[in-house]
Structure 1
Amino acid sequence: MIRIAIAGVAGRMGKTLVQAVADRADDARVAAGTTLADDPQAGQDIGLIAGTGMLQVAASTSLDSCADSFDVLIDFTSPAATLTHLNACRRQKKAMVIGTTGFTAEQKQQISDAANDIPIVFAPNMSAGVNVSLRLLALAAKALGDDVDIEIVETHHRHKKDAPSGTALRMGEVIADALGRNLDDVAVYGREGISEERDRKTIGFATIRAGDVVGDHTVIFAGNGERLEITHKASSRMTFASGAVRAAIWLGDRSPGLYSIDDVLGL
């Protein structure tokens, strides 16, 4: 039985994660959770906060204060909060699943450094479908090569702060790697005004923030006379939450290291 802690239990994703763990009652349980210090729900039962029923576990405002209660932390909060939790897990020798997006290169390096001491699954998207689509994107990029224009379009709810999404950026990285390019050199983030015609070696990104869309990603490979589109649409946050819980259970007996969802899925 893996004892799981959830960061930000009062948030949209935090509540969904509590529900996802509750669905795995045979091999995992919610053992701890955190809220912001000024959250009115701090100290309340995590199950009541998430709407799953009483769990007899109170939400804490400090991860260190409940470190003895859990084995793995799942974190989908914000870059700054995640790094604070990362340092706490590193001190306490606790495993961590990180689904937060929007990290800088320097912040990603901090995660890599922490993986020398604790096991970490770090992925911008915990969905099995998305990670299968990454394999398809690499295949399409290698097959179509320089004969197509490549554009990535992503849509998320109006509350999402980082853009493009971590998943869209990961898709771009996979495609660029397959083509022997560096994404930093070829990425184009939005188009405006009058400029030269499109450079075929570039990879374009378009971002939409609207309504309550959980997450849609489409990669377009457009050539002369035909167009291939690979799309993934998430209709529920439970998709990501279930993947994260699966990763937390998988981490239960792992050695320190930085792992991906590919590792969890055996890809």
Structure 2
Amino acid sequence: MVKILLVGCNGKMGHMISKVASTSETLNIQAGVDMNTESNFNYSIYDSIDKVTEEVDVILDFSRPSSLDSISKYALAHSLPVVFCTTGYTEEQIVHIKNLQNSIPVFYSANMSIGINIINNLLKSISNKLYTDFDIEIIEKHHNQKVDAPSGTALLLANTIKDSIEEETTFNYGREGISKREHKEIGIHAIRGGNIIGDHEVIFAGMGEVIEIKHSAISREVFAVGALKACQYVHNKPKGIYSMDDVVK
């Protein structure tokens, strides 16, 4: 049984992860961390990770970027692997996460959905082939409470496309006024409204044909399942950095 410390346990994703884990025969949420310590689960919740007394095998983080330092210190002090699922990190924080791999196992992916990561792998193989004759645009849609824009997943897909294309490309975050498109642009557009869980669409627009690759998250359960698979995967792994690419291989 893999024992998990869930940071951000009282958030929307925290609740979903707890629900999915409750039916697992191989995973268990041993304790939680959240500013809101009201407990509707069968585990203790602490308002600070430093107060956790339970023995755990993996830290699963679905909180906010501001929690990164305290999670890192706790993980290093207890030699624990961490699955980072939070988005909205600064470039400096991302470097910090990647540097943790020198001491502990680190699992870091912008999106924990199996489907998104299969699409991401597909983009690696087709983007350079299509680039010459197609313009590339990315549209992402999320609920009106999402803090960061564009989404971490949109940036994941955009960077995969950019890294796959041999020529130099640039990101264009939306357009306004006189803004004629240049072929080297990869357009990224963010939409916020209602309770949209998460839609991502990559459009390859050519002369006389359009290729659209779309993923829609119907339920947050898809992210919970992926996050728990990540916990199972990183448990007992040597120090290093891992991602959903490793899980879907």
Q: 1:45 and 1:199 mapped to 2: Cα distance?
A: 53
d(CA) in 2 for partners of 1:175, 1:23: 37
- Give the C-alpha shift of residue 86 in structure 1: 2.0
Q: Give the distance between the partners of 1:200 and 1:255, measured in 2 at CA.
A: 43
Shift in Å, 1:170: 0.6
State the distance in 2 between where 1:78 and 1:180 align: 35
Partner residue of 1:234?
A: 217
Q: Which amino acid aligns with 1:77?
A: S
Taking only aligned residues, the RMSD between alpha carbons, in angstroms, comes to: 1.4
Give the alignment partner of residue 185 of structure 2, picking from 202, 213, 216: 202
Matched with 2:206 is 223
**Superposition map of 1:241-260 within 5 A:** 241-260=224-243
* Count of residues in Structure 1 that have an aligned counterpart in Structure 2: 249
Greater mean deviation of Cα atoms: 59-68 or 209-218: 59-68
Q: Counterparts of 2:68 and 2:23 in 1: how far apart (Å)?
A: 25
Distance in 2 (alpha carbons) for counterparts of 1:83 and 1:208: 30
Task: Say which is worse superposed, 209-218 or 98-107, in terms of deviation.
Answer: 98-107
Q: 1:87 deviation in Å? A: 2.2
Which residue in the other structure is 1:95 paired with?
Answer: 81
Cα distance between partner residues in 2 of 1:201 and 1:219 = 16
Is contact 1:219-1:231 (8 Å) kept?
yes
**CA apart distance, 1:216:** 0.2
Contact 1:46-1:58 within 8 A present in 2 as well: no
* Number of the residue aligned with 2:118: 132
1:91-123 deviations in Å (ceiling 9; x for gaps): 221111111111111111110111111111100
- SS at 1:69's partner residue? coil
For residues 132-177 of structure 1, the C-alpha deviation after alignment (integer angstroms, 9 at most, x for no partner) is 0012222221221221110000000111110000000010011111
Residue 246 of structure 1 aligns to a residue whose secondary structure is: helix
Q: Which whole-Å deviations, capped at 9, do the CAs of 1:164-210 have from their partners, x for residues lacking one?
A: 0000001001111110356xx60000100013x21111100110000
Identity %: 38
What is the distance in 2 between the residues matched to 1:19 and 1:171?
A: 29
Alignment of 1:113-152 (within 5 A): 113-152=99-138
1:52 is matched with which residue?
Answer: none
Q: Which amino acid aligns with 1:179?
A: I
Aligned to 2:17: 17
Cα gap change, 1:218/1:230 in structure 2, threshold over 3 Å: closer, same or farther?
same
Moved more, 89-98 or 75-84: 75-84
Q: 1:4 — aligned with what?
A: 4
Q: Distance in 1 between matches of 2:12 and 2:120?
A: 26
Matched residue SS, 2:111:
coil
Cα distance between partner residues in 2 of 1:176 and 1:46? 44
The residue aligned with 1:51 is none
Using the TM superposition, give the Cα deviation of residue 83 of structure 1 relative to its aligned residue in structure 2, in angstroms. 3.4
Structure 1 runs, 4 residues or longer, greater than 3 Å off: none
The one-letter code of the counterpart of 2:32 is G
Greater shift, 147-156 or 87-96, is seen at: 87-96
* TM-score, normalising length: structure 2: 0.96
Unaligned runs of 5+ in 1: 48-54
Partner in structure 2 of residue 153 of structure 1: 139
Find the aligned partners of 1:128 and 1:63 in 2 and give their Cα distance.
29
Of 193, 203, 216, which residue of structure 1 is paired with 2:177? 193
Distance in 1 (CA, whole Å) between partners of 2:40 and 2:242 is: 28
Q: Give the superposition deviation at 1:45.
A: 3.8
Q: Please name the residue that 2:31 is paired with.
A: 32
**Alpha-carbon separation, structure 2, partners of 1:136 and 1:65:** 43
1:146-185 matches, within 5 Å, as: 146-181=132-167
Give the equivalent residue in structure 2 for 1:65. Answer: 51
1:115 match: secondary structure: helix
Task: Report the secondary structure of 1:97's partner residue.
Answer: strand
Structure 2 unaligned regions, length at least 5? none
Pairwise CA distance, 1:68? 4.2
Cα distance in structure 2, aligned partners of 1:87 and 1:204: 38
